[in-house]
Amino acid sequence: MNTKILLTSLFVLCLFLNEKAWSIPTKITGKAPEYANHSIDLNSLHDFISEEKIKLAVLKFNTDGAFSVEIDLNEISLCFADFDGYHGMIYLEPGKSYEILFPPKRQLTESQKRNPFVKPEPVWFGILNPDKTELNYQIQQFEQAYTNYENKYFDQIFISRTRSLVDSVKLKLDHEFPATKSTFFEAHKKFRKANLEFALHQGKGVGFMETYFNTTEPVINLAAYTSLFNQIFLNYFNVLVSNRHLAEVDKLINTSALAQLDDYFQKQLHFNKELAHWILLKSMKDAYYSKQFPKASILKMLDQVKNSGWSPVEQKTAQLIRTKLTWLSSGTIPPLLALKNINGQSINLADYRNSYVYLHFTDPKNTICQQHLEALKAIAARHKEKLIIINIIPKSQAFTNSSNWAGIFAKTDTNLEETYKIKTFPTSFLIGKDGKLLLSPAPNPIDGLDRQLGQLFKSDYIRELQKNSQKAK
């Protein structure tokens, strides 16, 4: 008995040590006085299809702007931080130390932060006194040269599609950046140059797929690979169905035959197993938004992945994709909101079960929002016995309801951009009597809300009459 316990303990210890052996601390330090007393999240992606963020660490700047943090990595990882309108990027290698440099700090207005058309500026984090063999230094030098050639010969490459010019640019890059011992950097060069090939024939050239994808193990932690992958396999189900594979592939998708699709991709399209799985995952995500395939069939295939024998990473990716596709969908439970009214009292959405709840994310200082709040007065008066209105306003905003706008006004600590995808004000949702999202999003007050509510309450009234009529019989 003691021997069995000892052997079991040794086995568990070996598993623990083996897992730790694969994870090596990586140290990040620096000093940026402009960012003193701030904190910035450092993230990576679980995968390049679901694009689920994983928080690796928080860079906490002290009063002098200095910061220091260690994170455990088991492979080279592209890490990023979104701050002040920047999308800062850096490749981190397990076991290495980095003293990174931040771009000049800048302040964004609240409207700039919420503007969905303003994209963060991508920047590479600088590294203090980098060695010329350091991965980020090599990639940044290559990117600068690549971009210069791309800009210089843009018309010939992307419009005229001149083969000789593309070959010439590739030779220039090979001359300026000869082979190194870094397999990761070599892969970066390979797939960036593949973009030039892709420009010539959109991936339809002889040997292109074989050279860069069919027989190559996916490099899912390399941005140069994933960027090209996403271009080539965009809406791939639609591409197949519109071509010679129409009948068979279309039938397999509509019947949620994931195993047969996987087999088809490997045997008929000649993709290696891992590549076939990543293409299928991206294709399912893209197809969900297409009107060409039933959403239920796509969701059913994503559910099948967990029992398909695919790798744990692929299974997790399928779950993340499914969650994102159905997030805030009608019929789902709305994300939790920690709400307090303007007097500091807690508000619980569960207290309003059996009532319709109109969640109205608004900014009372905004002129457009004020117009919607004015329109909401009449709507609230017309449906006061059927509708609960909760206006959620910016946390930092001092507010007194001097205009006597309708509903409860509340604030929250919840990250609204992540939970309710709030990019602009106003944005609204209607929660049904069962506590699930009914209209997601719902019309804003001057954009058809009254008409939508009128139809909804009329339908409820008719159902109630029918119900009472049946009881009377």
What DSSP string runs through 275-292?
HHHHHHHHHHHHHHTSTT
The Cα angle at residue 77 between residues 74 and 80, in degrees rounded to 5? 135
Q: Quick check: 208 pLDDT over 60?
A: yes
Phi, then psi, of 122 in degrees rounded to 5: -75, 130
CA distance 294 to 88: 38
- The count of residues in the chain is 473
Q: DSSP string of 421-469?
A: ---SSSEEEEE-TTSSEEEEEEPPIIIIIHHHHHHHHHHHHHHHHHHHH
Do 203 and 249 form a contact (C-beta atoms < 8 A)? no
Query: What superfamily in CATH does domain 339-469 come from?
Result: Glutaredoxin (3.40.30.10)
Rounded to the nearest 10 degrees, what angle do helices 223-232 and 183-201 cross at? Answer: 20
Smallest CA-to-CA distance from 429 within 439, 419, 416 is with 439
- Which pair of tokens denotes residue 192? 């960036």
Q: What are the tens digits of pLDDT across the range 31-47? A: 999 999 999 999 999 99
**What's the mean pLDDT in 212-235?**
95
Residue 114 has a pLDDT of: 65
For the chain, domain boundaries: 21-129, 137-326, 339-469
Global pTM value? 0.83
Q: Quick check: 469 pLDDT over 80?
A: no
Residue 117 has a pLDDT of: 67
Residue 200, classed as helix, strand or coil, is helix
Q: What are the tens digits of pLDDT across the range 304-341? A: 999 999 999 999 999 999 999 999 999 999 999 999 99
**What's the mean pLDDT in 279-297?**
95
**What's the mean pLDDT in 285-291?**
92
Residue 417 has a pLDDT of: 87
Residue 108 has a pLDDT of: 82
Q: Binning pLDDT at 50, 70 and 90, where does residue 265 land? A: very high
Q: What percent of the chain has pLDDT over 90?
A: 81
Q: Quick check: 20 pLDDT over 60?
A: no
Architecture of domain 21-129: Sandwich (2.60)
Residue 340, classed as helix, strand or coil, is strand
97: left (phi over 0), alpha (psi -120 to 50) or beta: beta
Among 113-122, 131-140, 273-282, the least confident range? 113-122
- Which pair of tokens denotes residue 286? 């893209």
Q: What are the tens digits of pLDDT across the range 393-444? A: 998 888 999 999 999 999 999 999 889 999 889 999 999 999 999 999 999 9
Q: Quick check: 244 pLDDT over 80?
A: no
Smallest CA-to-CA distance from 410 within 427, 429, 389 is with 389
CA distance 458 to 312: 49
Smallest CA-to-CA distance from 393 within 341, 343, 445, 335 is with 341
- Which pair of tokens denotes residue 287? 């197809």
CA distance 153 to 164: 12
Q: Quick check: 140 pLDDT over 70?
A: yes
Q: Binning pLDDT at 50, 70 and 90, where does residue 26 land? A: very high
Q: Binning pLDDT at 50, 70 and 90, where does residue 107 land? A: confident
Q: What are the tens digits of pLDDT across the range 60-97? A: 999 999 999 999 999 999 999 999 999 999 999 999 99
Do 169 and 197 form a contact (C-beta atoms < 8 A)? no
Residue 132 has a pLDDT of: 94
Q: Quick check: 349 pLDDT over 80?
A: yes
Q: Binning pLDDT at 50, 70 and 90, where does residue 464 land? A: confident
Spatial neighbors of 462 by CB under 8 A, at least 6 apart, are none
Bigger pLDDT: 290 vs 186 = 186
Residue 245 has a pLDDT of: 57
CA distance 339 to 341: 7
- Which pair of tokens denotes residue 314? 């692929």
Sheet holding 97-101, edge to edge: 66-73, 24-31, 97-101, 126-127
Spatial neighbors of 384 by CB under 8 A, at least 6 apart, are none
CA distance 161 to 197: 9
Phi, then psi, of 340 in degrees rounded to 5: -135, 135
Smallest CA-to-CA distance from 187 within 220, 161, 156 is with 220
